[in-house]
Structure 1
Amino acid sequence: MRKRLIQIFGFLISSLGWLFVLCTMAMDFWRITQLGGQGGSFIIKVAWYWSNLWKDCFTDSTAVTNCRDFPVLWSVTPFVQGVRGLLMCGLTLGFFGVVFCFVGMECTYIGGADKTKDKLLFAGAVFHFAGGVSDIAAYCLYINRIARTTFAASLGPGVLRYDLGPPIFLGLVGTFFIFLGAVLYAVTVCRVIVPESNAVYAYGGGTYMIPRSRGRTLYTGYYRPTGRYGSYLGSGRTSSSNISKLSQTTPTKISERDAFV
């Protein structure tokens, strides 16, 4: 029950994170700057310049917005094209991660045996993590570009100093949710990640080993408690065969009652 609740919580958290990332691709004000606002006593003129992944826009104090769409794909600014590509790759990986995790969850009745479902869930967690890395790389690339322009000592003519907009912060929060969901998935299938190791216990001269496979026990080595009781060598089928041979070669005594009958 606890495993099922953790998986459901991870599914909700990761899905919410991917929803945030998807929304940021369609949102405006990835970067924004303001000019004016301190004019004369009677008329205050303000202008806002803002951009997203698809266009550059200008809004004046009368709420009139003029936009210029970015040109075709191969002539877009390189860093904008890189951010687009990284976000699309992350969303693609996230789609496969959501499908694998949904099939591999314990509360769903598809996916096969428990071991197969655990492997699917682990694969989905890996897809979530890879998609989150791709998304956070996209946001960091955009932030680095804005920061380099904002904190530059001198700028050329016509270059504005922009600030970061709300979509960047929303995307970072969504990426954090994606990583958290991937960690919750991985915690529930940690036995698949780290298989059971062999445990060795020694008592006197004997050795006991626990194999990796379930349902089987392996006894290896030899056990010699004292020389008084002889020795025991081997394990499994070899020991049983030796005992059977010994019983065949050992003469049996017939009691007087059996001989009389």
Structure 2
Amino acid sequence: MRIDVLSLFPNMFQATMGESIIGKAQENGFLDLQVTDFRDYTTDKHNHVDDAPFGGGAGMLLQPQPIFDAMDAIEKETAGKYPQGRVILMDPAGRRFDQDYAQELAQEEHLTFICGHYEGYDERIRQLVTDEASLGDYVLTGGELAAMVMIDATVRFVPGVLGNMASPMGDSFSNGLLEYPQYTRPADFRGMKVPEVLTSGNHQKIREWRMKESLRRTLHRRPDLLESAPLSREQQRMLEDIKLDEDPDVPD
């Protein structure tokens, strides 16, 4: 996967995106991450990339020219190597980012993130984009942190990045539920013991326990997810058993 980022603060990406799994993905050739400082493309003699909004108002807006020219340069560089792919504008008013969105983006060969700053964008910049994305209903000082979160969550689904593709598919939200509790050695730590079923070697019982505990955790922590989760008949039965176990007075 090729990921391009347009940012006024490219140094923010060096440490974060150069470490851990994302750093290894780049070293191993699964990810080509390039960060462009679009200030380099301004034609303003003072290197300004923003200006006051027409009609007045607070703050400054990013001008279209530097971003359009930076996008032209990326398109020229990647032509014949990568498709243009999706261009994502980081914007608090955009589509809410979630696990499904990350999996969707991971199917692309080329992604470009445009990170805003200041008060906002000149509206014409939106002509360049295919997506407008947001982490949530709040405003950051810039789009860099949000873009890094999206990149991290997306790249985990690129084949080869985690080594075992079963890992991301078992994560919370990947199947509409929260992940089940997990344990490792020692089996008894300060009197806190690992559930016996996990050391039994009975894989069918382990599967059932994990499914039931995933449902239980979701019921307790994020019951709203159960409203849209695609539960199988077995999961529906388990959920009813959990509710009955915890509140015997609830009618069947």
TM-score range, shorter chain: under 0.3
Structure ID, larger Rg: 1
* Higher relative contact order (Cα pairs below 8 Å, separated by 6+ residues): 1
Higher-helix-fraction structure = 1
